[in-house]
Amino acid sequence: MVTKTTVKTKCDVKDCKNSAEFAFETKGRQGRCFLCKECYEKLLDEGRKLRIPKSPQNAIKKQLDRRAEEQNYVEK
């Protein structure tokens, strides 16, 4: 999805004049978005803040419930 770029270009983020190190494909006329390392790291940090981690207890409970359901299943 995000790749290192070999093209010498500037970062596409507003008011950023750094050289781009990463690029990703976009829809539309431009086709690619270029990011410098600093902007890429900021984007990752903001994404991590928005992502809510799932509790491991939920996954364990789900497996236990599935096993209990399988054990209680009676063929007719």
Strands of 32-35's sheet, edge to edge? 2-4, 22-25, 32-35
pLDDT digits (tens, 9 = 90+) for 7-54: 899 999 999 999 999 999 988 887 889 999 999 999 999 998 888 776
d(C-alpha 3, C-alpha 33), whole Å: 11
Band of pLDDT at residue 75, cut at 50, 70 and 90: low
8-state DSSP, 2: E
pTM (2 d.p.): 0.62
Which of the four pLDDT bands, split at 50, 70 and 90, describes residue 74?
A: low
Q: How many CB atoms are closer than 10 A to CB 21?
A: 15
Q: What is the per-residue pLDDT for 13? A: 93
pLDDT of residue 63: 85
Cα(37)–Cα(73) distance, integer angstroms: 54
